[in-house]
Amino acid sequence: MSVTSATARIFSSDNTAGTSPEIIEAMARVSSGQTLPYGADDTTASVRRRLGEAFEQDVDVLLVSTGSAANALSLASLTPPWGSVLCHRESHINNDECGAPEFYTAGAKLVPLGGEDAKIDPAELRGAVRHKKGDVHSVEPSVVSVTQATETGAVYTLDELGTIGSITREAGLRLHMDGARFAGAVAALGCSPAELTWRAGVDVLSFGATKNGTMTADAIVVFDRSLTAELTFRAKRAGQLASKMRFHAAQLDAYLADGLWLRNAAHANAMAARLQDGLKAIPGVGLLGITDANILFCRLPQQVTEGLLAEGYTFYHDRWEPGVVRFVTSFATTEQDVDGLLGAVGRYAA
């Protein structure tokens, strides 16, 4: 099966999409000639400038190769080994990073909390930030980590994030944001990146890009710049200081130029909304939760799931509970891809 035909039926993850052409072109441009290594090049400096402009203040930036590295290194800079990280039980750091946060923090404990749509419940957080604080027999509440957009496709509103930030600051804790799909949240809310991060109290952002058009580059954006020196050493020690950093930088430079990152995210969101609208009209399909970004959960009859799989569609199913499936769209998803899926669901539902 060709890559093109396979991609049209893959709705399992936005990681399955390729790379934006603008980013490929940027990488090709920096491959000629020679330049300084380890991030001392002009392209890396350009990324810092672009991110500073996007967030409306000077920021420090560390380029990394994976979102897991961004999350784990960020959390390691925000909590001591005897600390705890308060996060949602559905968060990526809690379920999908193979213990990397615990490893890089040298033993800090993840404390999972509840809340609808994979968003931390403020009432539960108020209790958790003070639970056994100062008790030498327990881990010390140290940092809150929110995922924006969440693992279910919902987005924290500015008011919700402001509440989380206030609770965190009042308790003397740090605030980390896992922004693997940060662009999707910005596009969904139509707000500024600054409003969604440091103005709400975020100290460090894991700035995701690989799900939204880059090839191998994510970033850590540091708003509390007192953390930068430690993060720099941690990144080197973790093997995340690339010698030919310009190739990471070229990806993010093109990603941020001319609004590509927001256009890609808005398209992915629009494809999820198109899918959601279509599924609403099909008898027997039950939509679950909120779809603000590019992830959609629904309940399908078994014959529909089996028919889609037999037809070559790829998506997660029965992972959470029987009958529940997840569809994810991306910047590369087309209207034809979505309409093809809807047509197939309709046939098998009938």
Q: Tell me the pLDDT tens digit for each residue of 41-98.
A: 999 999 999 999 999 999 999 999 999 999 999 999 999 999 999 999 999 999 999 9
Q: What is the pTM of this model?
A: 0.96
The stretch 265-269 carries a mean pLDDT of 98
Q: Does the structure show a pLDDT above 80 at 4?
A: no
pLDDT at 8: 79
Which tens digit of pLDDT belongs to each residue from 107-143? 999 999 999 999 999 999 999 999 999 999 999 999 9
Q: How confident is the model at residue 1 (pLDDT cuts 50, 70, 90)?
A: very low
In 3D, which of 11, 75, 7 has the Cα closest to residue 275? Answer: 11
CA 210 to CA 219: how far, in whole Å? 10
Q: Does the structure show a pLDDT above 90 at 212?
A: yes
Phi, psi of 339 (to 5 degrees): -65, -35
Burial 24-51 (b: 16+ CB within 10 A, else e): eebbeebeeeeeeeebebebbebbbebb
- Across all residues in the chain, what is the average pLDDT? 96
pLDDT at 61: 98
Specify whether the CB–CB gap between 321 and 299 falls below 8 A. Answer: no
Q: Does the structure show a pLDDT above 60 at 7?
A: no
Q: Does the structure show a pLDDT above 80 at 3?
A: no
What separation, in Å, do the N-terminal and C-terminal C-alpha atoms of the chain show?
A: 28
Q: Does the structure show a pLDDT above 60 at 10?
A: yes
Q: Percent of the chain, pLDDT > 70?
A: 98
